């Protein structure tokens, strides 16, 4: 049971670490590759639990070990893990917060330059603030109902976007 609890904790830790640090060019499209070991782990854990419950009831003719097992599994999922580290996007946003705000103000005042015609995103980042969108473009939508929506690409294209709504 201790091995299973440690396995669950490791699986939860790896999943959180993947979401915060190990993203690659496939982005969240790689979830199925990363998720496959966890699915196998869940199937193995469920099989072990069913085997232990059956063995506990049939051999000992006592339900107390079974209740301890179920409680232990429940407890393994409830043990808090350490907070995941901040994502690179969040660190970038905190470092250049004033520049993001200035870019949003420019978007509100229609002072941004449209992107070249072959770019579907819509707008280029300001010349003085290219670090707010290293991809070289930003998506801006402004309407009466939804208000202003700005998507920045602060880091490589496979990282998350920073959005202003």
Specify whether 74 is located in the same domain as 123: no
Question: Could you tell me if residue 49 is inside a domain?
Answer: yes
Tell whether 83 is covered by a domain.
Answer: no
Is residue 164 helix, strand or coil? strand
Residues spanned by the domain of 148: 88-164
> So what's the pLDDT on residue 120?
62
Residue 73's pLDDT band, with cuts at 50, 70 and 90, is confident
Q: pLDDT category, 121, cuts 50, 70, 90?
A: low
Q: Do residues 73 and 94 both lie within one domain?
A: no
Q: List phi, psi (to 5°) of 158.
A: -90, 0
Nearest CA among 31, 112, 117, 30 for reference residue 152: 112
Q: 114: phi > 0 → left, psi -120 to 50 → alpha, else beta; which?
A: beta
Closest CA to 40 of 48, 30, 52: 48
> Does some domain include residue 58?
yes
Domain count, the chain: 2
| Residue 36, domain member (yes or no) | yes
């Amino acid at each position: 049971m201790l091995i299973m609890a440690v396995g669950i904790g490791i699986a939860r830790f790896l999943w959180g670490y993947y979401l915060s640090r190990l993203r690659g060019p496939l982005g969240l499209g790689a979830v199925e590759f990363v998720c496959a070991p966890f699915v196998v782990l869940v199937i193995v854990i469920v099989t072990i639990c069913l085997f232990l419950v059956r063995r506990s009831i049939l051999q000992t003719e006592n339900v107390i070990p079974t209740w301890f097992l179920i409680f232990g599994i429940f407890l393994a999922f409830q043990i808090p893990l350490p907070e995941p580290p901040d994502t690179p996007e969040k660190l970038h946003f905190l470092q250049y917060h004033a520049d993001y705000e200035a870019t949003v103000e420019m978007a509100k005042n229609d002072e941004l330059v449209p992107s070249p015609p072959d770019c579907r995103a819509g707008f280029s980042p300001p010349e003085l603030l290219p670090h707010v969108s290293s991809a070289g473009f930003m998506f801006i939508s402004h309407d009466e109902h939804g208000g202003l929506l700005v998507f920045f690409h602060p880091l490589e294209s496979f990282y998350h976007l920073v959005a202003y709504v």
